[in-house]
Amino acid sequence: MHGGWGHGHHRHGHHGHHGHHGEHRGPGGEEARFGGPDQDGDFGGGAFGVRRPLRFLAHKLELSDSQISELAKVLDDLKTERAQHAVDHRRSTASFADLLGGEVFDDSRAQAAATERVKSAERLRDALVKALGAIHALLDPKQRERLAYLIRTGALQL
């Protein structure tokens, strides 16, 4: 789980150069993103979009060992749902491509593929809301305030 959310398709922009305006770095220089699958490959790269979200949040929020342990579980569950969403998205994309490549467009198959894509997005939405609720319950007021600040300033992206 540690470090498992940042692998995948990271877009660094500007030909991969780092340190440009608007980029945020966590301890050890990892990017601090909590973006969605469309932004960096898997909601990206992980919960809160950081390569090592647990380490990043442990440092920024000054988490206790027990908070780190509980947060690890929350982030792991979210990572699993994001990975499944990425698989579902690739599957629906392949279905759409197959439909477009055929002699006749099958509207009912297109509707079915689109419906599955929406259902997958809804499952991911529900997992995110559940994770945010669990994180809220886990943190004290000062830590919640810090986390909200990181999200508002773009250091972490939902």
Q: Is 77 within a domain?
A: yes
Cβ neighbours of residue 126 closer than 8 Å, sequence gap 6 or more: none
10-42 tens-digit pLDDT? 333 344 443 333 434 444 444 444 444 333 333
Q: Is 79 within a domain?
A: yes
Return the closest-CA partner of residue 144 out of 67, 33, 69: 67
pTM over 0.85: no
The total number of structural domains that make up the chain: 1
Q: Is 18 within a domain?
A: no
Q: Is 158 within a domain?
A: no
Q: Is 73 within a domain?
A: yes
Task: For residues 112-119, give the mean pLDDT.
Answer: 97
Backbone angles phi, psi at 32, to 5 degrees: -110, 90
Q: How far is the first Cα of the chain from the last one, in angstroms, to the nearest whole number? A: 19
Among the listed ranges 9-13, 69-73, 113-117, which one has the minimum average pLDDT value? 9-13
Task: For residues 102-122, give the mean pLDDT.
Answer: 96
Q: Is 75 within a domain?
A: yes
pLDDT band for position 59 (50/70/90)?
very high
CATH classification of the domain holding 129: 1.20.120
- Rounded to whole angstroms, the Cα distance separating 81 from 126 reads 10
Token pair, residue 20, equals 């440009």
Q: Is 51 within a domain?
A: yes
- Coil vs helix vs strand at 32: strand
80-101 tens-digit pLDDT? 999 999 999 999 999 999 999 9
Q: Is 2 within a domain?
A: no
Is pLDDT at 56 greater than 60 in this prediction?
A: yes
- Rounded to whole angstroms, the Cα distance separating 72 from 54 reads 6
- Rounded to whole angstroms, the Cα distance separating 31 from 106 reads 43
DSSP state of 31: B
Domain that includes residue 146, residue range = 33-152
117-152 tens-digit pLDDT? 999 999 999 999 999 999 999 999 999 999 999 999
